[in-house]
Amino acid sequence: MDSTERTVYIEERDAGTLLITLVSTSLLVALAVWVQRNRKHTQAKVPFPPGPWGLPLLGYLPFLRRKQHIIFRDLAYRYGPLFSVRLGAVNVVILNSYESIREAFSKKQLLARTSSLFLKQAGVSGIMTLNGTPWIDNRKYCVRLISSTAYGQKDMETQVQEEIEYLIGKISDVKGRPIPAEQYLLPSVSNNVSALVFGHRYDFDDPKRKMLDGILDTGMRCLAAGAVITFMPRGFRTLTTMCFTRFGALKQLVQKLTKFICQEEGLGGKEPREPRENNFVDGYLQLISEHNEDLNTSFNNNMHNPPLESSQSCRQGGHGAAKSTGGNRQGDVRVGGHPLGRTAMTCLIPWPPSGRCIGGGPSS
């Protein structure tokens, strides 16, 4: 190839690169303009609280740091306790005062929630995926069980106090050396849950304790990462649930946790198990039996009660986790923790109100 042909080839290659760049830029600009016009059209129909402007497609997400509750607190100083932001593809209303959050959660409209894409594909079903009547029925059962004679307030307080004393003893054993607090706090908190669900706790060095804490820790990391994905366009959310992603790993964790619970509770075996006293699972199974022929309750309807479907999946062999197929979910409520010692709460509610609601942790 002589110098003339080489020059022509380079010019054609540069022209092709320039053309691709111009076309890509034009498509991005057109998409940004379309999104912006669509947002204005939506705002014209629905009253929208004031709030800061964000970037096209991404909204206000690039400006959120790790401690999001501090960002929302600062925005509340400027716009008041009720303001709005655009997070990715979702319009979100921020409630940043105790009074506004309490009033919002007293509304029946917030009982409904949309199904979470990665939770659904991971087979997660339970209290966190319920809405409407099943949520009300299950909440009443949990409150009644904890407040009953078997699970009286004194017994629960005694359990928590004993766990705190055990935690203090474990921390005292290190004799003032710096320690990673989460390695002590996580098993201590989950032991209180284990005592309620299984009727007993685990020592910190118990292999089951370590395995369970590993599942919970990894699962919480997956769910925490999903907070941002929640606001992405549906195509991006679908890609994040592939088997090689963090959300794909959540499915394996759910199956492992389901198998662990079935083994601990003796579910799925050939021999009938003896019901145990002060046991959350046995109480729930008894409640299912009592309402077996009652068509007016959600405790005998798998489609609208994922915990019932999960318990029956365990009794049938515990192969994998049951998938939730509940209907009419128009919002999603999550509670995330932030550093202790804060004084106010932050709640995120998609706008219009039929959108997604995410409860944040305490903010300063």
Of 113, 71, 80, 75, nearest to 99 by C-alpha is: 80
CA gap 339, 330 in Å, rounded:
30
Gyration radius from the chain CA atoms: 25
Q: Is the pLDDT at 50 greater than 60, yes or no?
A: yes
More confident residue, 317 or 53: 53
Q: Is 46 exposed, middle or buried (0-12, 13-18, 19+ CB in 10 A)?
A: exposed
Q: Is 257 exposed, middle or buried (0-12, 13-18, 19+ CB in 10 A)?
A: middle
pTM value is 0.53
Q: Is the pLDDT at 240 greater than 70, yes or no?
A: no
Rounded mean pLDDT, 175-183: 83
More confident residue, 211 or 43: 211
Q: Is the pLDDT at 102 greater than 80, yes or no?
A: yes
Rounded mean pLDDT, 111-121: 59
- Per residue in 257-300, pLDDT (tens digit) is 888 887 777 766 666 666 666 667 777 777 777 777 777 777 76
pLDDT for residue 258? 80
Q: Which amino acid is at 12?
A: E
pLDDT for residue 202? 85
Q: Is the pLDDT at 105 greater than 70, yes or no?
A: yes
Q: Which residues contact 353 (CB under 8 A, 6 or more apart)?
A: 109, 110, 331
Q: Which residues contact 314 (CB under 8 A, 6 or more apart)?
A: 258, 261, 262, 265, 267, 268
Q: How many CB atoms lie within 10 A of CB 303?
A: 13
Report CA torsion sign: 250, 201, 267, 263. positive
* Cβ pair 307, 126 in contact under 8 A: yes
Question: Which helix or strand (DSSP H or E) is residue 350 part of?
Answer: strand 344-350
CA gap 70, 338 in Å, rounded:
10
Q: 117: which DSSP letter?
A: H
Tell me the DSSP string of 49-94: ------BTTTBTGGG--S-HHHHHHHHHHHH-SEEEEEETTEEEEE
Q: Is 14 exposed, middle or buried (0-12, 13-18, 19+ CB in 10 A)?
A: exposed
More confident residue, 110 or 41: 110
CA gap 176, 192 in Å, rounded:
26
* Cβ pair 94, 84 in contact under 8 A: yes
- Per residue in 325-357, pLDDT (tens digit) is 333 333 333 333 333 222 234 455 544 444 333
Report CA torsion sign: 31, 33, 39, 41. negative
CA gap 181, 59 in Å, rounded:
35
